Structure 1
Amino acid sequence: MTPAPEDLLPRRSAEICRGTLRMIAHLGYYGLTEMTLANNRRADIAAIGPSGDIWMIEIKSSVADFKSDHKWREYMDFCDRLTFAVGDDFPQELIPPETGLIVADAFYGAVIRQAPEARLVPARRKAVTLRFARLAAARLTGVADTGWTPADDGLTSPLT
């Protein structure tokens, strides 16, 4: 049975996300997915560049997904640049001019249009950077802890 187009959207979104993360890493930006901001909005990708600049990227897997999202402007107060990442079949003219545009697939992406820069004030930059760092550290701690049991490390003895 062939999946319905709407059933493919989570996979499509994951593919765009993967290609975007790979592409921005090549540019020197490293990102986290699903980062909750102080206003309780959750950015699809939050990335920090080599000079500490903050880039938020919203992934849109379909026109319906884009048209149903009215909250994207609320990310702008938490980044220096806001960009949409879409697939190659997305109608690019829908992307607002006050944002950037990335076209990506599962393997890579391309910046089609740079987002205008609106520099964060230092206090907001510090708060977003700290939130980013703590989330990254929490995720790394979780990965390091996965599958560990006391007897596996060779340093402790099993509880008796």
Structure 2
Amino acid sequence: MLQAKPLPIRPDGRQSPTALSVATGARRLLAARGCATVTELTLASGRRADVIALTPDGCLWIVEVKSCLADFRADAKWRAYRDFCDRFFFAVPPDFRTEVLPDETGLILADGFGAEFVREAPEHKLAGARRKAVTLRFAHVAANRHHALFDPQGAAGLLD
């Protein structure tokens, strides 16, 4: 019988070490809630969601990772993500000044080991057609990335 070995997964290099750590902790928290996650998912708008989660009941949550205050202040595009999810969260490191984050968003404090929900995100349900489109995009990207882990040559051209 073959023994399964973990496959190496390398960050894509766009994230700072802090952002990668926050994303790791947030994904662990979401996984503990039964969510499947994909990172850096390109949406129909052309924007890339840092983390998108598919909940056990089929809802879509987007988590925008902010590594520091300057990162948050330099990025005003977060509102555009709300059109592609049922709930929107910011995930930040524990030393982040959270009072600057909008109250109408969820809040996750995270590091490389884990995370906690500080504030639940308000729900704003997606329309059925948009939910289907985003869910299909999520599924295709996840499946293609999985394929690439086992067959990098065969998956050439499939990724995002």
- Classify the TM-score, shorter chain: 0.7 to 0.9
User: What is the distance in 2 between the residues matched to 1:146 and 1:131?
Assistant: 20
Aligned ranges 1:112-127 → 2 under 5 Å: 112-127=118-133
1:19 alignment partner, one of 25, 48, 58:
25
Structure 1 letter corresponding to 2:60: I
Number of residues paired by the alignment? 140
TM-score, reference length from structure 1: 0.85
Q: Distance in 2 between matches of 1:97 and 1:117?
A: 13
**1:105 aligned partner, one-letter code:** D
**Corresponding letter in the other structure for 2:144:** A
Query: Runs ≥4 in structure 1, deviation > 2 angstroms?
Result: none
1:89 to 95, 102, 114: 95
Separation in structure 2 between the aligned mates of residue 64 and residue 22 of structure 1, nearest angstrom: 25
Task: Work out the percentage of aligned pairs sharing the same amino acid.
Answer: 49
Which residue does the alignment assign to 1:46? 52
* CA deviation vs aligned residue, 1:34-61 (integer Å, no higher than 9, x gap): 0000000000001100000000000000
Task: Please give the secondary structure, in 2, of the residue aligned with 1:39.
Answer: coil
RMSD of Structure 2 on Structure 1 (CA): 1.3
Taking structure 1 as reference, are residues 137 and 62 closer, same or farther at Cα in structure 2, changes over 3 Å only? same
Q: d(CA) in 2 for partners of 1:94 and 1:125?
A: 30
**3-state SS of 2:94 partner:** coil
Q: What is the 5 A alignment of 1:52-67?
A: 52-67=58-73
Q: TM-score, normalised by structure 2?
A: 0.85
Q: Is 2:101 the counterpart of 1:99? A: no
Matched to 2:89, the amino acid is T
Structure 1 residue 146: deviation in Å?
3.6
What is aligned with 2:140? 134
How many Å separate the matches in 1 of 2:23 and 2:16?
10
The one-letter code sitting in structure 2 at the alignment partner of 1:34 is E
Q: Give yes or no for the alignment of 1:110 onto 2:116.
A: yes
SS in 1 for 2:125: coil
Q: Secondary structure at the match of 2:16?
A: helix
User: Which amino acid counterpart does residue 134 of structure 1 have in structure 2?
Assistant: H
Instruction: Give the letter aligned to residue 117 of structure 1.
Output: E
Name which one, 1 or 2, has greater alpha-carbon Rg. 1
Find the counterpart in structure 2 of residue 6 from structure 1. Answer: none
Show structure 1 runs of 5+ residues with no match.
Answer: 1-8, 149-160
Which one of 29, 38, 45 corresponds to residue 32 of structure 1?
38
Report the counterpart of residue 157 of structure 1 in structure 2. Answer: none
